[in-house]
């Protein structure tokens, strides 16, 4: 089985199946198609499949033309999971969120594994890319796949290769981002490398699937802890009347031993606010507390409250209370130049300000409407920005600094501008750092 599958991968005669057609699955599908693989996409979301079949993008930073090109290259999208047996390689790119108690929610992974077990056949490789705690591939995926009666390392092959996509980043693409890969057995290891070396410039092999899972968590925990640090220092610097962005800019001139991280209104996206808690949850199994991780999470989750306090203070300086004030929120996406709303700090900010009595309107060209907040205090459709419109608001709150915003206009026309991203220096009388 191993040699036959290796030959098909090296000759690019194998069929690739992507399970989960979102921010990870679509870039992978595009790359496999580019190098000549027949590629099938699977998803339970029929709306995605319908749009894809029409060549219409549902991911803002990926244009319609890219989806049309995928179809022209022979890409198929389907919700028929019985076709899993057609693929030689199956790459699982499903969400791994947290529960309301901040415990791992592996239901998407386990449900997918149980579906795979119904249809997998000898000679396939299954790769999990979803971010998760060390041991998930072996403890959750493998036992379910073995219900098929097939033997791992002999009949089928199992690897873990964490996704490293950065939506909206034009500098790094799927091909140029090094790919970490760990196999359950030596044969799985070899098959995993053969699969991914077809589409990426550099493979980073590791000794096991738990090691590869830990690599992904370390990457994101490193960022979460350092962002938590600068967020805490931002609050201290503000009390000391020191510009934290000036401090970071100066510190970043050191050519060694320092990496610049920037504070903001809170963490967003699927990875950094979520992934650290996968490891802290798993650590309890070993009777170990990961205090840095949990402290960083506590600080980062508190940042929307800090921003609300700054908005309250800034309005008071203008003889206004939050209650009854008209506030324009700039940006709902969790980071600039994308439409991803997952874990966005804009949402708790809006909810907190609304509960205090503010009237909230938002502008985000990447999110034209948002209906998950249905309260009376929130306008569900994105507004345009003009000088006349800005003058109608008591406060403009910059949460997500999309490049498409006219920052000169925002500063000159806003009565009060609370900047959570450090886009402005302190020279402007109407600008307050939040």
Q: What is the pTM of this model?
A: 0.91
Domain-wise residue ranges, the chain:
2-207, 244-433
Distance CA 30, CA 39 (A): 9
Give me the pLDDT at residue 404, please: 95
176 close to 191: Cβ distance less than 8 angstroms: no
Give me the pLDDT at residue 267, please: 85
Give me the pLDDT at residue 269, please: 79
Q: pLDDT tens, 237-274?
A: 999 999 999 999 999 999 999 999 999 999 887 777 78
Give me the pLDDT at residue 347, please: 95
Annotation: CATH topology of 244-433: Rossmann fold (3.40.50)
| CA 294 vs CA 27, 280, 398: distances in Å | 32, 7, 27
Distance CA 353, CA 347 (A): 10
Give me the pLDDT at residue 61, please: 84
Instruction: Give the three-class secondary structure for 373.
Output: coil
Distance CA 335, CA 421 (A): 10
Give me the pLDDT at residue 276, please: 86
Which segments of 129-208 does DSSP mark as H helices, in order? 136, 142-145, 186-196
The parts of the chain modelled with pLDDT lower than 50 are none
Rounded to the nearest 10 degrees, the angle between the axes of helix 186-196 and helix 2-10 is: 10
Catalytic residue among 93, 181, 188, 271: 271
Does the annotation mark 271 as catalytic?
yes
2-207, which class in CATH? alpha beta
Give me the pLDDT at residue 107, please: 96
């Amino acid at each position: 089985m191993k040699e036959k599958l290796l030959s098909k991968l090296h000759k690019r005669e194998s069929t690739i199946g992507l399970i989960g057609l979102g921010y990870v699955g679509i870039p992978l599908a595009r790359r496999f198609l580019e190098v000549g693989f027949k590629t099938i996409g699977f998803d339970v979301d029929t709306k995605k499949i319908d749009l894809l079949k029409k060549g219409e993008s549902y991911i803002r930073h990926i244009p319609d033309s890219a989806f049309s090109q995928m179809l022209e290259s022979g890409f198929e999208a389907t919700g028929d999971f019985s076709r899993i047996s057609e693929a030689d390689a199956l790459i699982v790119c499903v969400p791994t969120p947290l529960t309301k108690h901040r415990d791992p929610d592996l239901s998407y992974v386990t449900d997918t594994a149980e579906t795979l077990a119904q249809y997998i056949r000898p000679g396939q490789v299954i790769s999990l890319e979803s971010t998760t705690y060390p041991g998930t591939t072996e403890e959750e995926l493998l036992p379910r796949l073995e219900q098929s009666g097939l033997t791992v390392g002999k009949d089928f092959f199992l690897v873990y290769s964490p996704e490293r996509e950065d939506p909206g980043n034009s500098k790094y693409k799927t091909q140029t981002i090094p790919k970490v890969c760990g196999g359950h057995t030596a044969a799985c290891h070899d098959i995993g490398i053969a699969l991914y070396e077809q589409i990426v410039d550099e493979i980073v092999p590791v000794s096991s699937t738990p090691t590869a899972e830990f690599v992904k968590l370390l990457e994101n925990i490193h960022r979460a802890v350092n962002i938590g640090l600068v967020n805490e220092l931002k609050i201290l610097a503000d009390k000391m009347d020191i510009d934290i962005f000036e401090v970071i800019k100066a510190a970043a001139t050191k050519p060694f031993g320092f990496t610049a991280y920037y504070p903001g209104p809170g963490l967003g996206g699927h990875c950094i606010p979520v992934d650290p808690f996968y490891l802290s949850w798993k650590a309890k199994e070993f009777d170990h507390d990961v205090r840095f991780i949990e402290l960083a999470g506590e600080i980062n989750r508190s940042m929307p409250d800090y921003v609300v306090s700054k908005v309250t203070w800034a309005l008071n300086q203008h003889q206004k209370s939050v209650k009854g004030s008209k506030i324009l929120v700039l940006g709902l996406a969790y980071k600039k130049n994308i439409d991803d709303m997952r874990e966005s700090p804009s949402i708790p900010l809006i909810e907190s300000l609304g509960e205090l009595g503010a009237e909230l309107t938002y502008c985000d060209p990447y999110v034209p409407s948002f209906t998950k907040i249905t309260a009376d205090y929130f306008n569900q459709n994105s507004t345009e920005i003009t000088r006349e419109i800005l003058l109608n608001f008591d406060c403009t709150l910059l949460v997500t600094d999309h490049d498409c915003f006219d920052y000169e206009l925002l500063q000159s026309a806003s009565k009060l501008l609370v900047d959570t991203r450090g886009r402005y220096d302190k020279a402007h009388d109407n600008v307050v750092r939040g």
